[in-house]
Amino acid sequence: MVQSIDCILKSAIKDYEPIAIVAVRSRNLFKEGWEFLMKKIGLVGILAAIIVLFFMFDLGQYLTLDYIKTQQFQIEHFSTVGWRTVKITNCQG
């Protein structure tokens, strides 16, 4: 009877060895999957922050055709007039 229990234990140990190897591999896959998921969450978080800041600071006003035309006029005006019109004043009173 003792011999049969030893045989059962040995066969059970042999049967569980592949399961232990699979468990280690699955832990490594879980770790790799977790790191990949955290990278994705980080990228989505950065994208969400950019979108929120875009609307928070109302940066859409700089992407209108009127604003671009105004800036074009100001740049052309500055290039023709130059620094001659810049006046430095003393604001101490």
Q: Is the pLDDT of residue 29 over 60?
A: yes
pLDDT at 1: 46
Q: Is 47 exposed, middle or buried (0-12, 13-18, 19+ CB in 10 A)?
A: exposed
CB 61 within 8 A of CB 67: yes
| Residue, of 4 and 21, whose pLDDT is higher | 4
Q: Is the pLDDT of residue 53 over 80?
A: yes
Ordered by start, the domain boundaries in the chain are 2-85
Q: Is the pLDDT of residue 46 over 70?
A: yes
pLDDT digits (tens, 9 = 90+) for 60-90: 999 899 998 888 888 887 777 766 655 555 5
pLDDT at 80: 78
Best-predicted range by mean pLDDT (13-17, 54-58, 79-83): 54-58
- Alpha-carbon span 43 to 33, nearest angstrom: 15
